[in-house]
Amino acid sequence: MEVNKMDEVILVTDDNCISVAREIVARLQKKTFSIQSVETNIKPRPKFKKISGLRLYDDGPIPGFDPQLGYHFESGNLTIPISPKRKIQWNMITERVFVTFHEDGRITIEKSFLNAIFYSMIISVDIV
């Protein structure tokens, strides 16, 4: 997927979900990255949780997952596994998802339900 303008916010739809997933996987493959996440509908707003030293999952089989693709899409659910227990995931049926590919390499994913942003995730590639 070619992003024409850096830092452009992309509304993920059924039509572009696979290409957005491919772009996320392409940017994170064979790299170590950190994820900062927060649920934004909680008051007072909590601090971002940060998990460092992550890599896309490519060890052993996960049922229904093709490691060559790096993601799994079925019945409106997109999953990008990071480990057997961690994943980047969204549901196209119940959530509106916005993805921003930043010029500095960060990826921001915001998920909303009923027009309120309720989850934000910022993925940053670790500098080695």
pLDDT digits (tens, 9 = 90+) for 34-84: 999 887 776 777 788 888 889 888 776 666 677 778 888 888 999 998 877
| Rounded distance between C-alpha atoms, residue 118 and residue 60, angstroms | 33
Residue 73 lies in a domain: yes
Q: How far apart are CA 58 and CA 65, in angstroms?
A: 10
Which range marks the domain in which residue 77 is found? 9-125
Identify whether the C-beta of residue 47 lies closer than 8 Å to the C-beta of residue 68. no
Q: Is residue 72 part of a domain?
A: yes
What pLDDT, on the 0 to 100 scale, is given for residue 40? 75
- Number of folded domains in the chain? 1
What is the percent of the chain with per-residue pLDDT over 70, rounded to a whole number?
A: 86
CATH code: domain of residue 43: 2.70.180
119 vs 77, more confident: 77
Q: What is the mean pLDDT of residues 99-128?
A: 86
